A and B are shown apart, each in its own frame.
Chain A
Amino acid sequence: MKLLIANGYVVDPVQGINTGRDLFIEDGRVTAVLERGQERPTDVELLDATGLIVAPGFIDLHTHLREPGAEYKETIASGAAAAVAGGWASVCAMPNTDPVNDNAAVTRFIIEQAQRAQLANVFPVGAVTKGLGGKELSEMGEMKAAGIVAISDDGHPVPTGGVMRRAMEYARGFDLPVVDHCQDMSLSAGGVMHEGRWSLILGLRGMPAAAEDMHVVRDCVLSELTGSRVHIAHVSTSGALEAVRRAKANGLPVTCEVAPHHWTLADDALEEYDTNTKMSPPLRSRNHVNALLEGLRDGTIDAIATDHAPHHADEKGLEFDEAPFGIVGLETAVGLAFDLVNQGVIDIERLVSLCAANPARIFGLKDRGSLAPNAHADVTILDPACEWTFDVSRSKSKSRNTPFDGRSMTGAAVATIVGGRLVYLHPDYSRITDSKTRNASAK
């Protein structure tokens, strides 16, 4: 099967391409990026990307798909549908399912369910410790063979330096990056929001920035001790970012990601006790938000990740203290990332680095994150001029927990191609496929 994505503007930071090009795809792989005027192949399906940006398929390093165990919140199929609708060709599924993905059987189940769905690529992340218990190491070698791409005890940070050290040393043998949700639980226990002026006003228990800072510093120190690759999940504080910046300056293999809600909203958003503003790490105060914007600008932040965390409306309808942490994010992340472009924080090339090139590099996803010859034909087509309003009632996710319902954005992912198949097309962009059956060379 041959596919030509013609007339678009290809942005591929890995190859240094940022200009008008046609993308030629055969049998699920990239064949070539063709220059304008170069002879076009014949007998191809044609997608017309005039006025649009053609980028390597976006990769979300941090997704909760809830299956197995909490299918009422999300399934692998519904999560994958939300992913491709948001421009994410690949998602990395966090292990805090029930049962936990701490063994190869669960890993294989996730991969099989994803193959059945035939939408986004799903890369499972395995647990660091059995049952996310923070004590015994999981069988990560076997899970790696079954298909995990990283390990993490997301949501249940490994509490002791001793266990984390062993995990890092052991993971190194399988070239698995260690992902950590950084939070010193002794400092943040019982907290439901950022500790600061707003937690005092609202009378809610705070989670101090120090809880995240200390844990990130610990992991950076352990990275130096063990030589392990460490990826800091959803960085939300200026101190954590500073620790990563220092680790990078010292040449340590430390990377980090940021979630869109952390640069978009601050803790004053909790004023009405809306449980859709409750997440962990929490929305921070404005000075931390500004530090994240600086980290996006100066390159300290490597990746944008959604931390898509679906929860049922009944759960989010509880009192603020009782409601679970987290919001859905797959369908709003790219729009919120375009806010950064529109505000001049980053340019479009850096956006593609943050969403595709760097995530592929961090988790070692071979032949992804770039449109180089023989790469997997995962493509995200973007319209920077698309003005749209997010309507959560039309979301592909099974859950509705978002603070961004009704938010207007400029810039969107309008089509997603996975393995050479068009798996999502924005309803207003049917023109892309209008010329699909025409012979490209006969224009």
Chain B
Amino acid sequence: MQFNRKHLLGIRELEAGEIAHLLDTAETFRDVSRREIKKVPALRGRTVINLFFESSTRTRTSFEIAAKRLSADAINISVANSSVSKGETLLDTARNLEAMAPDCIVVRHSMSGAPQHLARMGSAPIVNAGDGSHEHPTQALLDALTIREHKQQIQGLKVAIIGDVLHSRVARSNIHLLTKLGASVSIAGPGSLVPKEFGELVEAGLRVETTLDDAVADADVVMILRIQRERQDAAFFPSMREYAVHYGLKAKHLALAAPDAIVMHPGPINRGVEIASEIADGGRSLILDQVTNGVAVRMAVLYLIAGGGRTELDEKGH
């Protein structure tokens, strides 16, 4: 199956075959970053705009490096705040950028649905680099690429996702992706951050557990989510200290997982809060592999979206 969509807005609407194609494409790009000359001409003459309405170091840098390694012209625009306080609306900002004929706009926004809004109202291809608490599709893809690298396949794996699921776009995209590819997912965290209704998010393959122990038991993959203070306007739990005691991942939890279980975190990590440092820095942690794979995944996404399938890479028989 090919990937023929104009936009990448979320994982929920994708077919399993499209996800597999994205991952396969990302694998072919992983080699580029290992070469001495880390550049291919795939998107030469194309323009990619990174439009970030929310602060980000990792994701913005990852998209920028991905675009540059494909020879695209990458422009970064950081808008500190949302449209309302700035005076210009999101739509006007996007339309002005579209008037300069970019081949793709990569959007990060603190509000869920902002990329969908631009895709519906505008004309440029949109890649969602994280919208509010909704989706972060390239994060789920890079997580899947990392899992595939270590576990060969995703089908049949047991994955535990721990922490602030309610506010996490990473969790949502991962739940959609992993269940579509045949993994079984358990989620756990404080009750106020893991509503019981979350089990209805997908048709099948998702369980809401009450305790960390239950979620982590026999897991092949343990994903830890960042506590997102910026998305919480009220106290969802009493204190960071209490969170760390009851919901921070520690060695005793990992002992319950499969012997060869791997640990992932989308970063940036709050050391000693959601994850103990010895785990984050330990042998099972793939946190930095995730970052490396992030570039490959974003190269694949930009190649398929901004390249429109007709690129120099194809002509040269890549």
Contact = CB atoms under 8 A, between A and B. Distances in A.
Is the A/B pair a real complex? yes
Most buried by B among A203, A204, A318: A203
Given A200-B195, A204-B113, A318 B200 contact: no
Interface string B108-140: 010111101100110000000001111100000
A197 B201 contact: yes
A318 B85 CA distance: 12
Most buried by A among B109, B111, B113: B113
B113 A320 contact: yes
A443 to B, nearest CB: 57
A388 interface: no
B228 to A, nearest CB: 12
Contacts of A202: 112-113, 134
A196 B201 CA distance: 9
Given A200-B195, A200-B197, A200-B200, A317 B121 contact: yes
B172 interface: yes
Contacts of B83: 318-319, 322
Interface in B183-217: 195, 197-198, 200-201
A412 to B, nearest CB: 30
Contacts of B131: 203
B114 to A, nearest CB: 5
B197 A319 contact: no
Interface in A191-238: 196-197, 200-204
A47 B212 CA distance: 75
A319 B135 contact: no
18 contacts: A196-B197, A200-B172, A200-B195, A200-B197, A202-B134, A203-B113, A203-B172, A204-B112, A273-B113, A314-B89, A318-B84, A318-B89, A318-B90, A319-B83, A319-B109, A319-B114, A320-B112, A320-B113
A349 interface: no
The 9 residue pairs across chains A and B that have the minimum distance between CB atoms: A203-B134, A273-B113, A203-B133, A203-B112, A197-B200, A319-B111, A320-B113, A321-B111, A273-B116
B314 interface: no
Interface in A98-155: none
Nearest to B135: A203
A203 B171 CA distance: 11
A51 interface: no
B91 interface: yes
Given A203-B172, A204-B134, A317-B91, 17 more contacts: A190-B233, A197-B200, A200-B198, A201-B172, A202-B112, A202-B113, A203-B112, A203-B132, A203-B135, A273-B120, A318-B89, A319-B83, A319-B90, A319-B109, A320-B111, A320-B113, A322-B84
B118 to A, nearest CB: 10
B284 interface: no
Interface residues of B, number: 30
A319 B233 contact: no
A202 B201 CA distance: 10
Contacts of B89: 314, 317-318
A319 B53 CA distance: 12
Chain A interface size range: 10 to 19
A192 to B, nearest CB: 9
Contacts of B114: 319
A180 to B, nearest CB: 25
A428 interface: no
Interface of B: 12, 82-84, 89-91, 109, 111-114, 116-117, 120-121, 131-135, 166, 169, 172, 195, 197-198, 200-201, 233
A39 interface: no
Interface in A158-202: 190, 196-197, 200-202
Q: Is chain A's interface secondary structure helix, strand, loop, or mixed overall?
A: loop
Interface string A259-285: 000000000000011100000000000
Interface string A264-308: 000000001110000000000000000000000000000000000
Most buried by A among B109, B112, B172: B112
A19 to B, nearest CB: 50
Nearest to A192: B112
A201 B111 contact: no
A203 B109 CA distance: 13
A19 B109 CA distance: 60
A205 to B, nearest CB: 8
Contacts of A272: 116, 120
Nearest to B120: A272
Contacts of A318: 83-84, 89-91
Nearest to B176: A201
A40 B117 CA distance: 60
Contact of A201 (B82, B109, B120, B201): B201
Contacts of B117: 273, 319-320
B169 A203 contact: yes
A200 B200 CA distance: 9
A322 B200 CA distance: 27
A197 B133 CA distance: 14
A47 B274 CA distance: 76
A272 B131 CA distance: 14
A319 B201 contact: no
Contacts of A319: 82-83, 90, 109, 111, 113-114, 117
Contacts of A204: 112-113, 132-134
A201 B133 CA distance: 9
Nearest to B92: A317
Nearest to B114: A319
Contacts of B198: 200
Contacts of B200: 197, 200
Nearest to A320: B113
A200 B201 CA distance: 7
Nearest to B91: A317
Contacts of A320: 111-113, 117
Most buried by A among B117, B135, B166: B117
A201 B121 contact: no
Nearest to A323: B117
Contacts of A317: 89, 91, 121
A201 B134 CA distance: 7
A320 B83 CA distance: 12
Contacts of B233: 190
Given A273-B116, A318-B84, A201 B12 contact: yes
A272 B195 CA distance: 23
A312 to B, nearest CB: 12
A311 to B, nearest CB: 14
Nearest to A318: B89
Nearest to B115: A273
Contacts of A322: 82-84, 111
Contacts of A196: 197
A318 B172 CA distance: 24
